[in-house]
Structure 1
């Protein structure tokens, strides 16, 4: 929606020439022009009319829709963030679906002392939309009818996946406002967030809302969806995890109606200012892979850290390790199951981390001498794309509707946002904003938190993996439409596009090595084959506590009854639990620091390493912490804790600390002797010992999480909330490493909480 009343400033900081809004490129330097549309919140926007220019910068182009005409200039980003906007910050890892706070606009004209808060990444059509540019994407309910079955299930699946994160932040009501739910192709996006004013919505209410969609549901899934709604309204489905599992099964069956062809190409270059290349990629640079199965659909980009000869060793070492672990993943897993795939990807990442870390130890590298690497990896399986990420290399998801960054950098600026300390564009102003908080190889896998995301692929799209040699200075945002969309339209091929992106990195940035991987997922429907209607789902009535914690186990929540393991003696443990009752303990844990890997943007060497992420050398980044509350009063008698070894099952304990771990964290792991974590346990959590066994002559205790502690762990430590344990999680801990309070006495309330009564 061009408007002749204003101009659009060139985003190139060395140019910033004003251009006409209908132009696509700066007339002076040729840089693609960015049209950043924003959503205005607050009554301060009410007096303005279409076409008004606000504060000589923002042009009102639609109802509450503003165009930033000077995108190269930082917006007003106050230090103090109002409480109602904190959920946006803490939900920043979900920015693919949830808008983020761009800044504040203070206006004195037409309405005195009014404020307008601006959201970016809002479901507003960009310049690729033609006449619809600057307009909101359609509401889900308005286009639900006559949409394919797999697309409808995909939207529901995303809806269900957002439920628990939004519920945790007190904004689940947003998912009950149909006017907030917008769809951009296959992607479900929220217009804004709504605070849960009284009691939060329930899954039963969600089921009632979903019932209104039944009439327009595709015939292939109508009975299936009807049964899901019934189970929700009758409270048979009690958790969002359970709901996601049911939708996963339906998607897996329904997606067989589509054919998927994958094409992968990579390219890497040392760049004009470096004499060696510390980046690495798989497949090898310039090699094109085409596959109609997901057997060889693996793409990896690593950006080495540590300088010559560190980073150029670490990045290929990571890729070799990952390739060896994942080469036969598709064949080794008997069938598709998200939990098993997630575990395999996390364990492969930990193996790559340890391979580099072990070599650092063998070569006696310490502090800044330790080599490491970032990682972004794409692996397809069945109808899904799995993205694994550590560091500040990025993955972008490009469709004909738009381009979205799907990874969140593991740097200090993103950490500030995730903890609710600062708006992102304000955090970027700090000198150390680009310093990394984690990378592969710097320390043990016990402190590594790789992120694994999965996406349902039901339309042709491209995933761009790249090092910061390309992504710095918003180059992908500027050039995706010109360089990547032609692939989807058949106007260019992958090798040509990859070469062009490397050229852009070298000419427009040029300060670092540059590496890209393009993964083209081409989706076409199979010829009409009379697809059968999905059978209604049935719930398997097995308590969550009995979920097998092994790495090949099914999801932790109750499952749909299709494959009961008759060899699992679940009934015996169930009877024992009913007989003895459930109980819990308060875990008094102070989180320790993970190793901090700091690397400034544009540099390939380590800037600093610190054992506490809140003890950052840059005073502008460090935030003052609230005073800690003593865990016991000064007059309380000292109690000598004892080991958890030899405790009976079931047993109620109060965890105090680990005595043999290098970290102060108490982490539950999926298997004894494995580094892959179920999650970190915040202090104040209620736990129960439900089992024990020996592994390599050491006793391990199986614990169940009954409730989560109320300490604000996000203030203490930069760990995303999704890395913490959840109620119902089950995991192992080495018994000899844990100290417990010998005089701990459980209360009736704790027992009730643990039994779910």
Structure 2
């Protein structure tokens, strides 16, 4: 008896017709079939023959590769996140290189569930059907035939991954050749391997030394000496290794010629009366360059009754003027470019915020915008984003989303709380955690990524009018891939993507920008890279100083296990999901406001608590502090409100007890060393009489919405609010409250003679419980 023909269900919710796997389109509605290949973890399933369908859904292709035949349905998940799975979630910002957890399979004859990994290095489209479903080649096997720039590019990516993986004790993944796969110029890991012992950079040098003899002549001596310096310990830090590799990349990059062309198109869509999106170059235009830098920007305005189009236009104009005026004078060092792109986003943020204040926009009339931009220069392209507009990278072997949405679903994943496919099912999953114009730029965290362009590819920048409901994943092969073979011109492709968004989604404005990157390899040369000098970096002012870049990499020092989760919350929230400054004010950002709110119990997110330790701080004998100001300075010297927090998670807007007014008396009860910072636990003894009652102008603090709350969904055009003063609209702390603050923030505000005893400054009250959080409102999920 022959097995029935394997089929895959149409992803169109209105169709769901099973179609043979040898077809690329649904035979009924002509929707492109999404072929989602997964890799099984857990107990070995090698006994499952190719062609078998597990639990009625997953088609076994052999070698642990499975095909989901019902990709539009959510997979089975669990509330308990196993320890071995957590690193995948917390490393989700690196999903271009690291697989993500999809779901699990429970089988009666296995003791443990079989976990499934998504976005694994498996050929799934854009290639000959004979290799579809097969693993991509190992890096070692592809090394010999790779150009010199690509070889350095692969090493550079590995060096950048060293510290993030080391943070979660999975660095062994970079030392296991079988796990190192490549998709063109991108290094991709097959899975994550737990560290049994602490890996060292010497071991990385030993692995790289195996590839020296097959390296391209131009980098052979460079790599040999690099490996020697790793072996002797001259290179002792992953950032030092990254810096040395970045010195060699420009010399190899000069051997190839890059040309860039961009096409943009924007449309109001069938259901909106006004287009709040904006783009640069202007919609319908074509720009190209072979020598000059090429800037592309896409913004999705958030404006409620009015203002979204103004905010997006302001962002475009502010960023364009700054970047184009400065780029001619940049030295194009990666650190300089990253910093300037971040500054540009922050300046645009402040421009919109000031416009809100000048026009006295309140509540739902306040405006904001998302932004994604690409800056192409020679052999590299820089991607910057804030919000949930996206950038995808399309090559001949695949399509990958390279940005991580600044929304609640993504935040839940990177904090290790939920799988993405589970998180997006909640009503608030698409609510933004940051966008331009929400508040002061001090709490804004733009994300900047750098890509070495050594192969033909297309970067798609788009608003969620197109990206919602997996439309890019469905249509990239038919609408974007032909660009690479000159079968479709860029302008037509942009227009067709907008038409797909309007006909298949149609719920929002839509804007797309296509950046076509073309590479021409130069003639081979006998020139060799100069030897890397690790010691010379000590004299380089750009290396070793505390970076001003908000998206800087994590510290190389592995955190103790007891603070691993805390470290993840600190760094990942700072890097990729920093909550806008306005979120911790008494005004709830407009993206959470609804015209007809429905109340439901709020389930608060518990802030990280300090470890149990009764040690007493030594503050020069001071146990009571008299505070002389309600503002202090952050690490950059910028004025910020003096806030008391219940824990150490500064990025969580809900984790604020209140503002400490001037002339308050505080008692020091504990001191903690968290990473490289000292924190004090303080109890509020007394407040000045004039400030003992909250001002009527100050409204209660409102928390970020939680995914497990129920509230009516609204669209992204609800209002954005921000605080208008340096201290914000926080409630005041109350006598008896107990909380935490950085030592560097509080001590400069206590007078030299504030060593007075309790009799002089008053007695401390007993701690009181915090108030109950109010229920937030939401915008709809950006995913189905």
TM-score range, shorter chain: 0.7 to 0.9
Q: Cα distance, 1:617 vs. partner?
A: 8.5
Kindly indicate whether residue 283 of structure 2 is the aligned counterpart of residue 316 of structure 1: no
Aligned match for 2:360, one of 352, 355, 364: 364
1:16-27 to structure 2, matched below 5 A, reads 16-27=16-27
Residue matched to 2:256: 258
Provide the rounded CA distance (Å) in 2 between the counterparts of 1:526 and 1:128. Answer: 26
Q: Cα distance, 1:283 vs. partner?
A: 0.3
Distance 1:178 1:500, change over 3 A: same
Distance 1:659 1:261, change over 3 A: same
Distance 1:736 1:367, change over 3 A: farther
Quick check: 1:641–1:742 contact (8 Å CA) kept in 2?
A: no
Quick check: 1:430–1:620 contact (8 Å CA) kept in 2?
A: no
Q: Cα distance, 1:208 vs. partner?
A: 1.1
Kindly indicate whether residue 504 of structure 2 is the aligned counterpart of residue 505 of structure 1: no
TM-score under structure 2 length normalisation: 0.75
Aligned match for 1:607, one of 592, 596, 611: 592
Residue matched to 1:339: 335
Q: Deviations over 1:30-62 (max 9, x none)?
A: 110000000000115243221111001001012
CA RMSD of aligned residues (A): 3.7
Q: Deviations over 1:61-111 (max 9, x none)?
A: 121000000001110121211111100000000000000000011012xx2
Distance 1:127 1:345, change over 3 A: closer
Q: Deviations over 1:2-34 (max 9, x none)?
A: x96421100111111100000101111111000
Q: Deviations over 1:266-294 (max 9, x none)?
A: 10000000010000000000110010124
Residue matched to 2:347: 351
Kindly indicate whether residue 537 of structure 2 is the aligned counterpart of residue 538 of structure 1: no
Residue matched to 1:183: 182
Aligned residue for 1:386, secondary structure, equals: strand
Quick check: 2:150–2:454 contact (8 Å CA) kept in 1?
A: yes
1:574-723 to structure 2, matched below 5 A, reads 594-595=580-581, 606-608=591-593, 622-625=604-607, 639-641=623-625, 659-661=630-632, 667-669=634-636, 707-708=675-676
Kindly indicate whether residue 187 of structure 2 is the aligned counterpart of residue 203 of structure 1: no
Kindly indicate whether residue 236 of structure 2 is the aligned counterpart of residue 238 of structure 1: yes
Residue matched to 1:303: 300
Distance 1:673 1:626, change over 3 A: closer
Provide the rounded CA distance (Å) in 2 between the counterparts of 1:22 and 1:103. Answer: 25
Quick check: 1:55–1:107 contact (8 Å CA) kept in 2?
A: yes
Q: Cα distance, 1:632 vs. partner?
A: 6.3
Provide the rounded CA distance (Å) in 2 between the counterparts of 1:362 and 1:55. Answer: 60
Provide the rounded CA distance (Å) in 2 between the counterparts of 1:339 and 1:543. Answer: 16
Q: Cα distance, 1:742 vs. partner?
A: 9.8
Provide the rounded CA distance (Å) in 2 between the counterparts of 1:307 and 1:280. Answer: 16
Kindly indicate whether residue 480 of structure 2 is the aligned counterpart of residue 481 of structure 1: no
Quick check: 2:46–2:63 contact (8 Å CA) kept in 1?
A: no
Aligned residue for 2:486, secondary structure, equals: coil
Residue matched to 2:6: 6
Q: Cα distance, 1:367 vs. partner?
A: 4.0
Q: Cα distance, 1:142 vs. partner?
A: 1.1
Q: Deviations over 1:661-705 (max 9, x none)?
A: 5xxxx7423xx5699xxxx9x9699xxxxxxxxxxxxxxxxxxx9
Q: Cα distance, 1:640 vs. partner?
A: 3.5
Provide the rounded CA distance (Å) in 1 between the counterparts of 2:54 and 2:13. Answer: 22
Distance 1:504 1:742, change over 3 A: farther
Structure 1: runs of 5 or more not aligned: 558-587, 599-603, 610-615, 645-657, 686-704, 719-732, 745-757
Residue matched to 1:89: 89
Kindly indicate whether residue 399 of structure 2 is the aligned counterpart of residue 403 of structure 1: yes
1:60-71 to structure 2, matched below 5 A, reads 60-71=60-71
Provide the rounded CA distance (Å) in 2 between the counterparts of 1:549 and 1:38. Answer: 41
Kindly indicate whether residue 137 of structure 2 is the aligned counterpart of residue 138 of structure 1: yes
Provide the rounded CA distance (Å) in 2 between the counterparts of 1:179 and 1:741. Answer: 61
1:395-544 to structure 2, matched below 5 A, reads 395-528=391-524, 530-539=525-534, 540=536, 542=538
Aligned residue for 1:179, secondary structure, equals: helix
TM-score under structure 1 length normalisation: 0.77
Q: Which moved more, 1:472-481 or 1:37-46?
A: 37-46
Aligned residue for 1:490, secondary structure, equals: coil
Q: Cα distance, 1:634 vs. partner?
A: 10
Aligned residue for 2:335, secondary structure, equals: helix
Aligned match for 1:212, one of 206, 210, 213: 210
Provide the rounded CA distance (Å) in 2 between the counterparts of 1:268 and 1:468. Answer: 12
